[in-house]
Amino acid sequence: MPRLARKSLEGIRYVHVTTHGIAEEFIYEKTNEKEKIRKLIFDNQEKFNINVIAHCIMDNHLHLIIKFKETKDLSNYMHKVNTSYAIYYNKEHNRHGYVYKNRFYSQIIKNENHLRNAIIYVHNNPVKAKICSKPNEYEFNSYMSFWKENKEMNIFASKKQYEEMHYKNDVQLEYLSDFEKVSNEDARLILMEYLDKKHITIEELQKDKQKLYEFCNICKIQYKISNRNLEKITKVNREKIRRILMKSVPKGTSLFDTK
């Protein structure tokens, strides 16, 4: 099958979200737990003005492809889903404390080809984990419902293409390649998300050495953004960024850490 053209999403915002149990704990191991988190995922869509395009719920983590308009809607939605599930999980297991490693991790979807590959990657998670041999055999992903119910199906030319692309061996490699490439536009969106989370302006970030240090490390560790691109989006001299990054890098830093 020839490689599909990469078409810009023209302002439409999609993101690939993952959440993991603390210490890789199997927080969705039982059927009732998977059913509970899936109910929370879909029951809260309308309230927060988002649309879950695809999903896959594994024993210790889940994947969501989300269409959204405002960063705050996405953050509020994930906070509601995770908090509600944590309360349920702790009650079910008579435990206290954190359930999630952090709030959530997100990857920006850049174009239609990236979106196709992300959907296929999510649906194939149980295949990769050797739980089943085909994505349509797994109960807790959206492989079957995606074709029947989803309005985003125009990114696939036909049902045949949809099915065939789910069995391409190179899709995961294409998707991981997309993941490693962050454009200037993506980097600016990451900056906007950080500013929104911290409730600060770009000017305040430029003057706050601690937050600038944190943001630059997030960009380097999590998104592999170059110093050149950091200079472009923050308007901070590259040499100053280099000096900031010479400090020790905190392990496990995430854009959506709750601390």
Same-domain check for residues 113 and 218: no
Q: Domain range holding 190?
A: 184-245
Identify the CATH number of the domain in which residue 155 sits.
Answer: 3.30.70.1290
Stretch 217-232: mean pLDDT: 79
138 belongs to a structural domain: yes
Q: What is the mean pLDDT of residues 121-140?
A: 92
Partners of 15 in beta bridges: 66, 108
Confidence category of residue 248, pLDDT binned at 50, 70, 90 = very low
Do both 193 and 85 map to the same domain?
A: no
Residue 238 has what pLDDT?
87
pTM exceeding the 0.75 threshold for the entire prediction: no
Token pair of 200, please?
Answer: 């600060």
Q: Are residues 109 and 227 in the same domain?
A: no
156 and 189 inside one domain: no
Residue 169 has pLDDT above 90, yes or no: no
Whether 45 and 126 map to the same domain: the answer is: yes
Determine, yes or no, domain membership for 140.
yes
Residue bearing the bigger pLDDT, 253 or 50? 50
Does residue 147 sit in the same domain as residue 29? yes
Residue 1, pLDDT score: 35
pLDDT at 82: 94
pLDDT (tens digit per residue) in 84-107: 999 999 999 999 888 987 667 788
Query: Does 252 fall in a domain?
Result: no
The pLDDT of residue 180:
47
